[in-house]
């Protein structure tokens, strides 16, 4: 994948993080406008993933997207919402990163 694809991936990740944050606010405070905004952001995030899927295929693109979101949402949960993951949850994040690294590893083991 070229660097431009990673910009699309970063944009979709940022959009998904905004959508998830809006959904967290909706879950804690309510309000239909927040829910509608979150759903609109999820739609935009999926649209931003189209160039990523064209460049890397469905499996690799979604695996990268999921791990980017996993790390980003953990940071948002820590910084914005004051949540503290347990050691077991940190281990899950680490295993997710390792899993995607193995999926994205170049064929033949060459770096």
Q: How far apart are the first and last CA of the chain?
A: 14
| Domain layout of the chain by residue ranges | 3-109
Mean of pLDDT values over 17-27 = 92
Mean of pLDDT values over 11-30 = 92
- Give the CA distances from residue 73 to residues 29, 38, 58, in Å, rounded to whole numbers and listed in that order: 19, 15, 22
pLDDT tops 90 at residue 2: no
pLDDT tops 90 at residue 30: no
Measure the CA–CA gap between 84 and 13, rounded to whole angstroms.
21
pLDDT tops 90 at residue 93: yes
Model pLDDT for residues 44-87, shown as the tens digit of each residue = 999 999 999 998 888 888 888 888 888 988 998 899 889 999 99
């Amino acid at each position: 994948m070229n660097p431009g694809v990673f910009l699309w991936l970063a944009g979709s990740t940022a959009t998904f993080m905004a959508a998830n944050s809006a959904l967290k606010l909706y879950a804690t405070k309510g309000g239909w406008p927040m829910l509608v905004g979150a759903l609109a952001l999820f739609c935009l995030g999926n649209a931003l993933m189209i160039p990523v899927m064209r460049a890397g295929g469905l499996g690799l693109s979604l695996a990268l997207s999921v791990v980017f979101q996993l790390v980003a949402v953990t940071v948002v949960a820590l910084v914005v919402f004051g949540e503290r993951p347990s050691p077991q949850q940190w281990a899950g994040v680490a295993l997710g990163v390792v899993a995607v690294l193995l999926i994205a590893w170049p064929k033949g083991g060459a770096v």
